[in-house]
């Protein structure tokens, strides 16, 4: 069976790797992929753009691709699944209507409020004057969120009134027509990534990621500097509440709207100090880098799960099985990220880092004249699975230290929270 994966990040490399763990998957094609998917056995890159729906569909039809998996939110938000559904090509991911759960934070908030899903209270604004008045009336801290895909740059957690007022001005000036202004809540964050076929929704292992660039969660926000799973914070009791209070009612609310949602339903949760889960946001795709920590722990073949979702038979599948282990994933970035950085640095040591239990997933890399060179801000990540977090952390950093390129940067404290 041939499977095509759309995307070029670490997430897509991990998805391709996990799919290839099943002998029935003979080949994975990545559009456009990266240096890691270019060099992996039975994997090949194709140079279509992710918005070239026609090109991707034709390739899939001519080459007998059994399933297309959409990695990133952007092609989902512009309707790649609708297009492929119309051509009867099996695809994993929600339609454009379903993807609004991520692409519009105000749409998602309205859905949550309708379905009584626990989420911080908020209000929606389309003009500066009323937004400013609301902020002044509510006071700080307060959270300002752009409505629309923002690549992780659309949310400002404002500590002061002045910061919040500047944030709304800035976001309206950036042509976001609509903003969500949200109550600030405290607690610990956890990502619950679930799979759904539109009728049943099943959570994968909970994960935590590290968004800030610096150790101790300091400095600028990034796409994610590391992750670990399963997050000890998300106890079985908490996961049961998330299933009953978040995942099931969200799927039911989508269904009431006439949306047949199949794919990933990812809940970004804040767990209050008293243990109450609240939804900060939904995503309509796998998390990056959480996926690089979660999928190596999966014992059930990923291909079986994804096909069950697209063919609407998830309920008939036995419970998802996991290896009795934990995973730590450390992202290695280019010097300067998340600001300006250079590309084209030769990477060495990837083979040395890779061994039984330690995997290297590429993100911003490219194969150039048979050498793997840097080609993005988040360059690659190392994941180590081990029986416990102490050894997983120890060994993941041994892997990280085996890798070398000019200006490489990584956080030293990934998964430390899992130890305490
Ligand atoms: N209501 C809130 N209270 C406190 N912090 C928040 C709140 N909403 C979001 N945040 C913080 O901002 C981050 C980004 O917000 P999120 O809604 O996940 O948007 P995105 O991932 O699209 O940038 C969250 O991971 C969390 O740390
Ligand atoms: Mg988020």
Residue bearing the CA closest to ligand 1, atom 27 = 189
Across the range 37-45, mean pLDDT stands at 98
pLDDT of residue 138: 97
Q: Which residues does ligand 1 sit against, CB inside 6 Å?
A: 120, 143, 145, 152, 154-155, 157, 182-185, 189, 211, 268, 280-281
CA dihedral over 227, 229, 231, 234, signed as positive or negative: positive
Give distance in angstroms: CA of 225 to centre of ligand 2.
Answer: 13
Determine the average pLDDT of the residues in 63-68.
98
Ligand 1 atom, smallest distance to 186 CA: 4
In sequence order, what are the beta bridge partners of 384? 328, 358
Average pLDDT of 325-343?
Answer: 98
Distance CA 169, CA 359 (A): 44
What's the mean per-residue pLDDT of the chain? Answer: 97
pLDDT at residue 204 in the model: 98
pLDDT tens sequence across 161-184: 999 999 999 999 998 999 999 999
Q: Which residues surround ligand 2, an ion (CB under 5 A)?
A: 268
CA distance 68 to 89: 8
pLDDT for 289 equals 98
Note the pLDDT tens digit of each residue in 111-132. 999 999 999 999 999 999 999 9
* The predicted structure's pLDDT at residue 120: 98
Report how far ligand 1's centroid is from the alpha carbon of 267 (Å). 12
Q: How confident is the model at residue 359 (pLDDT cuts 50, 70, 90)?
A: very high
Tens of pLDDT, residues 247-304: 999 999 999 999 999 999 999 999 999 999 999 999 999 999 999 999 999 999 999 9
- The whole-number pLDDT of residue 50 equals 86
What's the pLDDT at 152? Answer: 85
Taken in order of first residue, the domains within the chain and their CATH numbers are 2-95 (3.40.50.20), 127-177 (3.30.1490.20)
Q: Who contacts 115 (Cβ-Cβ below 8 Å, separation ≥6)?
A: 249, 250, 252, 253
pLDDT category at 192 given cuts 50, 70, 90 is very high
Q: Name residues whose C-beta falls within 8 Å of residue 42's C-beta, 6 or more positions apart in sequence.
A: 20, 25, 26, 27, 28
Is it the case that residue 151 has pLDDT exceeding 90? no
| d(C-alpha 245, C-alpha 260), whole Å | 20
């Amino acid at each position: 069976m041939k499977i095509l994966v759309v995307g070029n990040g670490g997430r897509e490399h991990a998805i391709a790797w996990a799919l290839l763990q099943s002998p029935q998957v003979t080949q994975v094609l990545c559009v456009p992929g990266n240096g890691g998917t270019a060099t992996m056995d039975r994997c090949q890159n194709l140079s279509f753009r992710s918005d070239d729906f026609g090109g991707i569909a034709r390739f899939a039809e001519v080459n007998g691709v059994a399933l297309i998996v959409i990695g990133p939110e952007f092609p989902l938000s512009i309707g790649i699944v609708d297009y492929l559904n119309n051509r009867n090509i099996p695809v994993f991911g929600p339609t454009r209507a379903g993807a609004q759960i991520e692409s519009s934070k105000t749409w998602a908030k309205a859905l949550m409020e309708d379905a009584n899903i626990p989420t911080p209270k908020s209000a929606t604004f389309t003009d500066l004057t009323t937004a400013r008045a609301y902020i002044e009336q509510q006071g700080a801290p307060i959270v300002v969120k752009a409505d629309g895909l923002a690549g992780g740059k659309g949310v400002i957690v404002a500590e002061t009134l002045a910061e919040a007022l500047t944030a709304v001005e800035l976001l309206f000036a950036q042509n976001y027509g609509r903003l969500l202004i949200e109550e600030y809540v405290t607690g610990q964050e956890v990502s619950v990534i679930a799979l759904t076929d539109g009728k049943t929704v099943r959570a994968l292992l909970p994960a935590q990621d590290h968004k800030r660039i610096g150790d101790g969660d300091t400095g600028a926000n990034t796409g994610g500097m590391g992750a670990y799973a399963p997050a000890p914070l998300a106890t079985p009791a908490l996961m049961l509440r998330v299933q009953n209070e978040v995942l099931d009612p969200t799927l039911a609310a989508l269904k009431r709207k006439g949306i047949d949602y199949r794919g990933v339903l990812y809940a970004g949760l804040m767990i209050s100090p008293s243990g109450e889960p609240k939804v900060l946001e939904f995503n309509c795709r796998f998390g990056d880098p959480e996926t690089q920590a979660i999928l190596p722990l999966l014992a059930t073949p990923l291909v079986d799960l994804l096909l069950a979702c697209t063919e609407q038979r998830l309920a008939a599948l036995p419970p998802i099985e996991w290896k009795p282990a934990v995973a730590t994933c450390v992202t290695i970035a280019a010097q300067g990220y998340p600001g300006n950085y250079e590309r084209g640095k030769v990477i060495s040591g990837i083979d040395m880092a890779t061994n039984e239990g330690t995997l290297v997933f590429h993100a911003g890399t490219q194969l150039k004249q048979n050498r793997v060179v840097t080609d993005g801000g988040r360059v690659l990540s190392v994941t180590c699975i081990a029986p416990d977090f102490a050894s997983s952390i120890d060994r993941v950093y041994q892997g990280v230290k085996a890798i070398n390129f000019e200006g490489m940067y990584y956080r030293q404290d990934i998964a430390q929270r899992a130890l305490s």
